[in-house]
Structure 1
Amino acid sequence: MTAEVLPHPLTYVREQRGWSMEKLAHLLLLAAGRRGLRVAADRSRIYRWEHRRVAAPSDLYQELLADVLSVDLTQVRALGWPWWLPAYDRPLPFSPVGARATLTEVLVELDHPDRRAFLVLTAGSLVGIAADWARVEPERLAGALAGRRVDESLVTWLESSVTHLPGLSNAAPHECADLLAAVMRATISLLDTARYDAPTRRRLCTVLASAAQAAAWLHFDQGRHASAQRHWRAALHSAHSADDRDLGAGVLSDLAYSATWLGHPRDAVEILTHARTRTRHATARSLLDVRCARALAVLSDNTGTARALHTAENELERGQANSAPPWVSWMSPADLAVDAGRCWLDLKDPQRARAALDEGLGLLDPVRERTRAIMLTYRAHTALADHDVASAVTDTRNALDTALSTGAARCLDLVRDTLRTALEPHRGIPAVGDLRSYARTQFESHAAARQGE
């Protein structure tokens, strides 16, 4: 689980604006001229900055860059190079202004998908977001409300839509993404222009949070981690505005899961610790605990992992007595089993891992193909740990076929990693060679189909 390979942020900022290195150098010369200064700015200097051959531009050059990029100097001094460049996002406050900023961000994202390839929030800032969420109480949004009054039937329809749409993601992820985008646009428009009372505002914020959370998972499955983070952040602020602490905790658990996936398990544990302080429903706590177990397993904490899994199981049983919130209603013993299996695999206990994964596959709802692909890949690793190459080949091939049917990049990447690393030492075995040839053909066909879309 590794983060995306990123260009230098100055490269991104420049290319986002369509500027060559020569163009940026020219703009720096103009900025210096406006100050009555003479500086040396050319393509080679920009190249050195972007390829890290100097520690950082001097203070003067950073001031000129800030002038060209319309960045306030207080940000330059507070954040330092290169973090002040507008290629990075920073945590937003849990306030009406912060909530509004996250909604604007999502609207820009819907109009210009993939405008940034960066993992926009550093792992440490995610922990800060979780801490602020746990500490800050929701504020009442003030100001006059203009426009039409929100109709009760419209709110009910939006709530129903956002409840059922995530289920469509298994069979039609692209269509689901489009429908979720439509729900978000409509809800943001209502929040901006309609007239409504406080309970209706909370319902609209909950709809928006749920839609953004579901959309984040679609982006995450496609490996679009920057987009996923922006949607999760909007979901967290919207849940906070709705005073729905359980939903907010669920969004934080998603951020923690992505942090573990991208190689930041310690930050995941901290995020989940903050999230659990405000979580009310037992099923929600179960999800937080099992994701904490995943992070602790990556950290090789046997005792902590076992304790978190045990607590997750108890909370899940307790939660079944009451109706779980919609955002976590999918949580089941099968999900607990798959995460337990991955935990035991990380802790070098393949027999316990295999037992848990067998149980999970037996319990899993057939429509959840992405989860099935991941479970089969994990089980292939347990088979290899037990020197059962034949079973590993079977599970990997089934995982590949299942992942291809979903088109989820996250699932396909897991299969690729299994073929390239785990099965590589066994490449001389005919069955492994046949699988690699089959996989190569399937991946090529999949890539060609994607290019033709």
Structure 2
Amino acid sequence: MDLDRHPLAHLRRQHHWSMNDLASLIRAEARRRGLRSGVDRNRIWLWETGRTTPSEESQSLLADVLGIPDADLRRLGWPGWLPAFETPALFSPSGSRAVLREVQVTRMDRRSFLVLSSSALVEMAADWARIEPRHLDQALGGRSVDEELLQWLEQRSGELRALATGPHPQVSGLIDAHLNTTVDLIAQDRYTAAAGRRLHAVAAELAHCAAWQRFDADRHADAQCHWQAAVHAAHQAGDRDLAAVALSDLAYQATWLSRPADAVRALGHARSRTRTPAARSLLDVRLARACAVLQDTQGTQRALASAENELERIRPQETPPVVSWMSMADVNADAGRCWLDLGDPDRAAAAIDAGLGELQPRRSRTKAVFLTYRAEGALHGRDASAAAADARAALDTALESGAARCVDLVSSLISRLDDRTEQPMVELREYARERLAT
């Protein structure tokens, strides 16, 4: 499927414009103003691939073509002002229902850019941090959802969450089916206030699982949509930790897709209302990752120290399921990625080794990612044999997990080794070609 990797490409597709068509429209708008513009097809391509940013004059001309006021250009910046992003819904019962309904829509989404702009992501995190859930003060008409159905939905969502951590490709469809059923029940308004909170809690948990299924499949816009739904549903359920974790997942995605500054800002809001040490530890680790990409050594060290301190305060009986997996293995291995980003491969290797040694065997996707990081660290240390062995293990683990995101990560590392002539690297490339061809 042909993907629109930039919002401008998505808008062109909507209007049935080629790059030449859009360039002609911009030049025509310039002539209307008595100006001359050198925008051509190649310039449009440079904008859409992120190689250059349009000048203020070119953005103004493009805005006129699209009917966008100049004030939006200054307020939102490029490319946030392009009318291809979604506007975050209000944190209210009606707003949350609209977001939950959105995850039920079946559509061929050709967008692979994120549907929330940088400002919108941070705005949503800030809104959630300051707005308390509105309690449903009375039963909402009609026949109430009974206790037996509620218990069944809660039990099934817990079972599906456990299955989603392993290599079970069929679980994605089950999660979607149960999420759709829960959203339908919420929309029918046939429950008491207490039952409504429980229904929203189930919807939040399922939407959160569905988001990770899509993130692992490299379906980033769809993942973002589901994480946004999880934040809203958790908000209506009064589950602060689940909402904060879903916001931190959006931040992690932003870092993964080279938007670490957005992650830092969103995580600041998300952490402000967490309730348990495990949730705070997770958010601290993700903050450390974003700070490391930004080359903020002090910020990285503070965040990692805080993550360890919070981890020591964890009480298993008080830790919600959404972060029950959080452990020193995650802190160590993610710290290793941080030290790699900050140019300290020896410290990175020690941390990743510790993390892999403590990681639960069932967490295959996490293992694939950490093995890829260790392979990258071995390359920094010029140990071709170790790098090749870890890259091979990472590829096997990623393929077994079925997570396209993990396969892409290790494949990208191997593709950067094309100019290496050492025998382990030659054998690794041949092995990768055979494995990826099957």
Shorter-normalised TM range? 0.7 to 0.9
Q: What pairs with 1:206-355 in structure 2 (closer than 5 Å)?
A: 206-320=201-315, 322-355=317-350
Q: Distance in 2 between matches of 1:381 and 1:60?
A: 47
Q: TM-score, normalised by structure 2?
A: 0.84
Q: Distance in 2 between matches of 1:77 and 1:346?
A: 33
Residues 76, 378 of structure 1: CA spacing in aligned structure 2 closer, same or farther, 3 A cutoff?
A: closer
Deviation at 1:320, TM superposition (A): 3.2
Letter in 2 for 1:90: T
Q: Is the 8 A contact 2:217 2:405 kept in 1?
A: yes
Q: Secondary structure at the match of 2:214?
A: helix
Q: Distance in 1 between matches of 2:256 and 2:358?
A: 24
Residues 50, 142 of structure 1: CA spacing in aligned structure 2 closer, same or farther, 3 A cutoff?
A: farther
Q: Structure 2: 5+ residue runs without aligned partners?
A: 26-38, 48-53
Q: What pairs with 1:22-421 in structure 2 (closer than 5 Å)?
A: 55=59, 62=66, 87-108=84-105, 111-112=106-107, 114=109, 116-141=111-136, 145-320=140-315, 322-421=317-416
Q: Distance in 1 between matches of 2:63 and 2:426?
A: 57
Q: Is the 8 A contact 1:8 1:50 kept in 2?
A: no
**Worse overlay, 367-376 or 320-329:** 320-329
Q: Distance in 1 between matches of 2:336 and 2:306?
A: 16
Letter in 1 for 2:286: R
User: CA offsets per residue over residues 57-113 of structure 1, 9 Å max, x none?
Assistant: 5787545xx9xxxxx9x99999799867653212222123321221121111xx225
Q: Distance in 2 between matches of 1:412 and 1:299?
A: 25
Name 1:6's counterpart in structure 2. 5
Letter in 2 for 1:444: A
**Worse overlay, 186-195 or 51-60:** 51-60
Name 1:437's counterpart in structure 2. 430
Residues 393, 136 of structure 1: CA spacing in aligned structure 2 closer, same or farther, 3 A cutoff?
A: same
Name 2:32's counterpart in structure 1. none
Residues 373, 226 of structure 1: CA spacing in aligned structure 2 closer, same or farther, 3 A cutoff?
A: same
Paired residues, number: 410
RMSD, aligned α-carbons: 3.2
Letter in 1 for 2:187: D
User: CA offsets per residue over residues 199-235 of structure 1, 9 Å max, x none?
Assistant: 1111111111111111111111111110111001111
Name 2:35's counterpart in structure 1. none
Deviation at 1:115, TM superposition (A): 5.1
Residues 271, 84 of structure 1: CA spacing in aligned structure 2 closer, same or farther, 3 A cutoff?
A: closer
Residues 399, 172 of structure 1: CA spacing in aligned structure 2 closer, same or farther, 3 A cutoff?
A: closer
Q: Is the 8 A contact 1:166 1:176 kept in 2?
A: no
Q: Distance in 2 between matches of 1:358 and 1:83?
A: 40
Deviation at 1:356, TM superposition (A): 1.5
Q: Distance in 2 between matches of 1:321 and 1:228?
A: 29
Residues 82, 262 of structure 1: CA spacing in aligned structure 2 closer, same or farther, 3 A cutoff?
A: closer
